[in-house]
């Protein structure tokens, strides 16, 4: 019986800082690497081509879900493992991935835990760990949905999701500016998606959701055990939550600029 093949797939833009370190953790034990770029202006392409000839550019950004679906259309392997450039596969996770692919069980998908390094510390609370994500599945079985942000792998009642042993290390933010830029991008995509669905918001909704976010992360999810980083992350997450509701309110409830 032929051994199932495995591809690693990434969607990237300006990931020169992280891409090499990410691919170094997988390139010597996978059969295929597919990198879908959305218009990098740094040397992301040069780094990627040192590992694969499957570097594809789609700089008409369609959203996270559609971009992942497009990337998957270029995969030839039996299984696909999705990674972000700021993630690293640990040896324990590697072994459990290879065991799952070798077992080749029908209708089974796999998730793994991520351990995030944020502002100089591993975050083990705040609701951030184990931060389990569904990232490994048979290529022909399913794909991501078409959500613009917070996209998910499509599953059905006859599919089973199992947990892999081992963590992926997630270098979430390079610095504060990176956090703010990334957060603003997610807020914009979230508000756009909700606006298209006819949803509305209010400032009071934003305040309540932001307060709830802080209390959940810092108190209920024991973010205080992550020290100053836990407090900062909880506060920033509350701010990001408020911004996305405020963005939706501005889009749907305020007057357009008057013309003179």
- 164 with 190, same domain: the answer is no
Q: Is residue 260 part of a domain?
A: no
Where residue 32 sits, what CATH number does that domain have?
3.90.550.10
Give me the domain span that covers residue 65.
6-170
Q: Band of the pLDDT at 1, cuts 50, 70, 90?
A: low
Gyration radius from the chain CA atoms: 20
For 172, the 3-state DSSP assignment is: coil
Calculate the average pLDDT of the chain: 96
Q: Is residue 161 part of a domain?
A: yes
Containing 169, the helix (H) or strand (E) segment is strand 160-170
* Residue with tokens 């780094």, as numbered in its chain: 47
- 188 with 143, same domain: the answer is no
Outline where the chain has alpha helix (H). 19-24, 44-49, 64-72, 91-103, 176-196, 203-215, 227-253
- 125 with 239, same domain: the answer is no
Q: Is residue 154 part of a domain?
A: yes
Q: Is residue 88 part of a domain?
A: yes
Q: Is residue 60 part of a domain?
A: yes
- 106 with 59, same domain: the answer is yes
- 239 with 146, same domain: the answer is no
- 17 with 55, same domain: the answer is yes
Q: Is residue 64 part of a domain?
A: yes
Per-residue pLDDT, 207 = 98
- Retrieve residue 214's tokens: 């802080």
Strand partners, 109: 161
Q: Band of the pLDDT at 43, cuts 50, 70, 90?
A: very high
Looking at 170, 195, 212, the residue that finishes a domain is: 170
- 39 with 110, same domain: the answer is yes
- 192 with 110, same domain: the answer is no
Render pLDDT for 189-202 as a digit per residue (tens, 0 to 9).
Answer: 899 989 999 999 99
Show Cβ contacts of residue 151 under 8 Å, excluding neighbours closer than 6 positions: 63, 64, 65, 68, 144, 145
- 19 with 74, same domain: the answer is yes
- Retrieve residue 12's tokens: 């990237």
Render pLDDT for 175-222 as a digit per residue (tens, 0 to 9).
Answer: 999 899 989 988 998 999 899 999 999 999 999 999 999 999 999 999
Distance of alpha carbon 8 from its chain centroid, rounded?
A: 14
- 147 with 19, same domain: the answer is yes
Q: Are 78 and 139 in contact (CB under 8 A)?
A: yes
């Amino acid at each position: 019986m032929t051994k199932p093949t495995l591809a690693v797939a990434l969607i990237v833009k300006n990931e020169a800082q992280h891409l090499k370190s990410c691919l170094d953790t997988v390139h010597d034990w996978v059969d295929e690497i597919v990198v879908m770029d959305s218009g990098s202006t740094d040397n992301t392409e040069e780094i990627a081509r040192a590992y694969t000839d499957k570097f594809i550019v789609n700089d008409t950004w369609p959203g996270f879900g559609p971009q992942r679906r497009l990337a998957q259309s270029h995969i030839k392997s039996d299984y696909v493992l999705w990674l972000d450039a700021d993630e690293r596969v640990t040896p324990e996770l590697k072994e459990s991935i290879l065991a799952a692919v070798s077992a080749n069980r029908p209708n089974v998908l796999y998730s793994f835990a991520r351990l995030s390094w944020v502002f100089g510390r591993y975050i083990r609370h705040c609701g951030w760990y184990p931060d389990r994500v569904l990232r490994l599945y048979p290529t022909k079985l399913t794909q991501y949905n078409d959500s613009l942000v917070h996209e998910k792998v499509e599953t059905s009642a006859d599919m089973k999701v199992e947990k892999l042993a081992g963590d992926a290390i997630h270098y979430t933010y390079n610095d504060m500016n990176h956090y703010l830029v990334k957060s603003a991008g997610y807020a914009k995509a979230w508000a756009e998606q909700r606006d298209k669905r006819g949803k509305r918001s209010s400032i009071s909704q934003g305040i309540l959701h932001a307060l709830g976010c802080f209390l959940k992360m810092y108190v209920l999810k024991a973010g205080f055990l992550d020290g100053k980083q836990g407090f900062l992350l909880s506060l920033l997450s509350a701010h990001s939550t408020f911004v996305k509701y405020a963005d939706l309110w501005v889009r749907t409830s305020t007057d357009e600029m008057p013309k003179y």
